[in-house]
Amino acid sequence: MPKLYDYFGLRVYFYANEHKPVHVHGFHRGRESKAELVIVDGIVVEIRLLGVGGMRPLAGRAAKDFEALVRVKADDIVQKWTEFFVLNRPIHAETITKRLR
């Protein structure tokens, strides 16, 4: 389970056995959501926030933080997806200590 980001208690990661479309999971205090990135001609055109089966979805500040992080880091997420799932390279987690807008 490669972790991509730590952001004010929110962990964002891929599951190692993931599938398309490109997406990430956000986990905070026993709750989990995922964000699918819709890519058209190599450009992220939409982000879809979804629940994860069997888990309570992120709520409140954690949900807003997850959405902001995915929006700001969308291109980086796609790059990390390619590095990990296509090129089989390790991913190094990033700790973000400033609020994203």
Kindly report the average pLDDT of the chain as a whole number.
93
14 within a domain of the structure (yes/no): yes
The pLDDT of 30-57, averaged and rounded, is 94
CA 25-28-30 angle, 5° bins: 100
Beta carbons of 8 and 65 less than 8 angstroms apart: yes
Within a domain: 101: no
Is residue 61 one of the residues assigned to a domain?
Answer: yes
Burial of 47 (0-12, 13-18, 19+ CB in 10 A): middle
20: confidence class by pLDDT, cuts 50, 70, 90: confident
Q: Do 33 and 26 form a contact (C-beta atoms < 8 A)?
A: yes
Residue 90's domain comprises 3-96
pLDDT at residue 96 in the model: 96
Q: Does some domain include residue 60?
A: yes
Could you report the per-residue pLDDT of 62-82, keeping only the tens digit for each? 999 999 999 999 999 999 999
Average pLDDT over residues 25-39: 96
